[in-house]
Amino acid sequence: MNNETSKHPDGREPRPKWGWKIWILPVLALAGLAIGVWQPVGFDDLLSHGERIGSSPLFLGAAVAGMMVCFTFGLPGSLGLWLIAPFNPPLVATPLLLAGSVGGAAGAYFFAGRMGNTWRPSGPAVKIHDLLRRNGGFPIQTAMRMFPGFPHSVVNFAGGVLRLRLGTFLAAAAIGLAVKWGVYASAVHGVTDAVAAGDAVSAKTLWPLFALAGLLVAGAWAKTKISAQ
């Protein structure tokens, strides 16, 4: 029997052998605190470097390709928002985010279609799968894409497994995500610009945040209504 799973002679369960791993979190916390106090790179310099790298065609192409790959295989491709939106205006960031997410949705659709019934959703994903199976029309799919609270990877895989109409699937993804990414990109870029300019309160900064808050509230309401169907 493995020593790590065997019991002590007195019947007590053995303690797990953490070894050096127990020091990871304290070391990371201290390193973060030291960097925050020392600030080896100023925020303005860091933002300047980020804008130079984050707006280069090579970087943007890699970010969009990474989003496609992540969404295709059910990974969190939405992280691409933080690679693209802070350093590019919304009119540039939104189409890029849309290309990455819709391209990834198409990839996941075909990938899941090849998996067939071997994909078994669990937890909240079951409700989304069952809802799309009962009512997978354009309005429902668009609402799932537009409002927060619906995991895109689950919608993508469910669409492929259920073999929803590809045209409707892609159109709903494009329209819903165009709205969502537009609001998100405006909010993230507005906050980044405001911090860089030292102007945290302005109409340009606040309206995307209010729009994002409204989208979150509407998403919670839509999720409740759709899940009740």
- Give the domain ranges of the chain: 41-227
Q: What is the pLDDT of residue 149?
A: 75
72 has pLDDT over 50: yes
Global pTM value: 0.71
**Which pLDDT belongs to residue 200?**
54
Q: Is the pLDDT of residue 229 over 60?
A: no
Q: Helix, strand, or coil here: 201?
A: coil
Q: What is the mean pLDDT of residues 96-122?
A: 88
Do the Cβ atoms of 79 and 152 come closer than 8 Å?
no
As a whole number, mean pLDDT of residues 103-117 equals 89
What is residue 38's predicted lDDT score, i.e. its pLDDT? 55
**pLDDT(204) > 50:** yes
Q: What is the pLDDT of residue 190?
A: 81
Residue 95 CA to residue 101 CA, distance in Å, equals 10
Question: What's the sign of the alpha-carbon dihedral 95, 101, 107, 109?
Answer: negative
pLDDT mean over 31-59: 63
Lowest mean pLDDT among 13-27, 62-76, 164-178, 182-196: 13-27
Percent of the chain topping pLDDT 70? 62
CA distances from 152 to 93, 96, 149, 185, 221 (A): 19, 17, 9, 17, 18
Residue 71 has pLDDT above 80, yes or no: yes
Q: What is the pLDDT of residue 45?
A: 54
At 8 the pLDDT is 47
